[in-house]
Structure 1
């Protein structure tokens, strides 16, 4: 992948002591791919900016703590017993979406995964800080489709015209949407209300009272709408294509490199691939894998793919709970390859740059079968 640059980690300024964690009994030759949602953050569009001195959409102190705990959890549940506690090149590879919160979460996760990397002494004059690679927004094809692709906004606009979305709009009430839009300076659309819904979700998590123009009933409607929007957005085949095509290809390429390394007889092969992402990345990939969700994923949720070296299978889990994919709870490497192939489509760039007049002109393959199906 071109245009990925290292973003070096920083020391987590929290009084945390890495407690002993029970180590897993996973095979040393397994390959693990984990997508982690960032930790707690401020609202992207805060109603009271003075409450959020870190700025909009930035991680809070709680978010840093959550990422650190997630790193400890990853090490104890996904890595084999005796895995090195100090990072070395070729042990693992780390990428983040090009957002402050995802980059910061990645560096914090790695401090817990490699707890001795920050230590000096015993022959180590300097800390071994694991690098995190993040692409500039304009090149973040892997994880930044919502920022990179104008076609994403065109697709959302097209979805809002559908009978399902019009029905949802009627259920909430057009007049109520217009009132909320007027109070927040947004357009009176379901998509535009996501900023308000997000702000309310964050305020509720931090026990901040409702703004005066909203009732508890309004709050519940908006929070329900937030989950509904995320589920519907990530179910749309075109958006799944945008979000997943390059991602599954990158995952497969790193797994194939790991497999080739093992087959060459080398003993120091890459063990895991860590990606620090947003909720939209995880939700879309879950749909691509055939395991959709009806609600959003919490902060620091971990979607993990485990490639078994001994029996050539792939298993997936979300927060350590096994998932049933389109190929079952245990998929063969061949089935994984078929899934990757089904998501590769030559019109990805056109979909990314889609214009309103072209929205119904692209035929995409059905993700589960690879057959042509008009979307």
Structure 2
């Protein structure tokens, strides 16, 4: 009994000590600022393949639109964020605390609005109509033609196009193309698409996946094996865009734009400022946006981010004034977000290390890096050409001087003869 009593007593002391340590850690580390980037919710297909029995009129709002399920997914994500940041954000909406930006697509704008409905249900005087637990909150955007922060890959970069062409000639890409050549032919015959390749097969997967999510019957040729193959190729298509070959260079021209903005904001928020009220940056975008950012952070798992998945970046201030960055990825609503560890740093990464490690993936002059470098002339050739030009210039000058001298001499003789005749 004494041994058991001692064990219980010891266990109790350990629990008290652990609680004390946890309490000190919680007190020492204070959340300062957070950025959340999420994919839109469930949507209808972007388009249908020629033999698809379900055309655009099969979807209430047409192609590429957020569904009611997508709205529910983001309302739930908003509720999750409310719980996560209940001691960080005001319970009621405060316009200086949160800034929301979205790409200019119906599905991302509506996802942001559904998310905010879960994050900020109005209470008290914020309710403008009795019984309506919703309030309008601004969501900012720019035209699609001007979007350079949340929509990837951007098509305005010749160097990126060159890298993509190089990627198509890598062993990994060629091996996948060869291994799935017969499968591509099958898809061509079944879908009546003229062009099916590793780069375009995602559209077939997308259509079939969206239809399966809404319990629409699949054609007989769409077996479990076919969907497995399509899933692999769809994931590989994302890897192809942002990795496989020269991932760092691709990141500098694509996802590094967003990463650079996030790092700039983290650095700014790390400086104590009593006038700074912004606490949360919300970004509503696409699967390619999440993949591009994670590739630039070197934490992309190679899988398509699911609907309403959320990449969280949080800035903390320690009791001694030091700041650190923690990242999480929420791609499964049944479990807590997964911690993401930046390669080369701790889970709670000191801000200065976070900035240093991510710097190679961020371009200082992206427009300049996007230009294709012109072939450089050999140094000897340049010297020879320069000397030749100088000699030619000297020869021309000498010829002009000689011609001018002769002309003057002739004029002098002519005037003298005239004077003699006079």
TM-score bucket of the superposed structures, by smaller chain: 0.7 to 0.9
RMSD of aligned alpha carbons: 2.8
TM-score, scaled to structure 1: 0.77
Judged with a 3 Å threshold, the aligned counterparts in structure 2 of structure 1 residues 257 and 204 are, in CA distance, closer, same or farther, namely: same
Q: Distance in 2 between matches of 1:264 and 1:300?
A: 33
Judged with a 3 Å threshold, the aligned counterparts in structure 2 of structure 1 residues 360 and 143 are, in CA distance, closer, same or farther, namely: farther
Q: Distance in 2 between matches of 1:339 and 1:230?
A: 23
Q: How does 1:60-209 map to 2 (within 5 A)?
A: 60-77=67-84, 79-81=85-87, 83-116=89-122, 119-120=127-128, 129-146=136-153, 148-149=155-156, 151=158, 155-172=163-180, 174-181=181-188, 183-209=191-217
Q: How does 1:6-17 map to 2 (within 5 A)?
A: none
Question: For structure 1, which runs of at least 5 residues remain unmatched after alignment?
Answer: 1-24, 362-375
Shift of residue 121 of structure 1?
6.9
Q: Distance in 1 between matches of 2:328 and 2:233?
A: 26
Superposed CA deviations along residues 192-239 of structure 1, whole A, max 9, x for unmatched, are 111101112222222222234544432321122112222343323343
Alignment partner, residue 228 of structure 1: 236
8 Å contact kept, 2:71–2:111: yes
Superposed CA deviations along residues 267-324 of structure 1, whole A, max 9, x for unmatched, are x621111111111111222222231203122111111011002241001011121111
Judged with a 3 Å threshold, the aligned counterparts in structure 2 of structure 1 residues 280 and 271 are, in CA distance, closer, same or farther, namely: same
Shift of residue 98 of structure 1?
2.3
Shift of residue 116 of structure 1?
0.8
Alignment partner, residue 322 of structure 1: 339
Which stretch shows the higher mean deviation, 303-312 or 240-249? 240-249
Q: How does 1:197-346 map to 2 (within 5 A)?
A: 197-235=205-243, 236-260=247-271, 263-266=272-275, 269-310=277-318, 311-319=322-330, 320-326=337-343, 327-346=345-364
Which stretch shows the higher mean deviation, 94-103 or 223-232? 223-232
Shift of residue 331 of structure 1?
0.8
Superposed CA deviations along residues 31-62 of structure 1, whole A, max 9, x for unmatched, are 11111111001111233223223122111110
Structure 2 counterpart SS, 1:275: strand
Q: Distance in 1 between matches of 2:252 and 2:60?
A: 37
Superposed CA deviations along residues 142-168 of structure 1, whole A, max 9, x for unmatched, are 012335536566654542332211111
TM-score, scaled to structure 2: 0.69
Q: Distance in 1 between matches of 2:96 and 2:211?
A: 41
8 Å contact kept, 2:46–2:63: yes
Larger radius of gyration: 2
Structure 1 counterpart SS, 2:37: strand
Q: Distance in 1 between matches of 2:287 and 2:373?
A: 25
8 Å contact kept, 2:40–2:111: yes
Shift of residue 96 of structure 1?
1.0
Q: Distance in 1 between matches of 2:87 and 2:216?
A: 43
Q: Distance in 1 between matches of 2:369 and 2:117?
A: 38
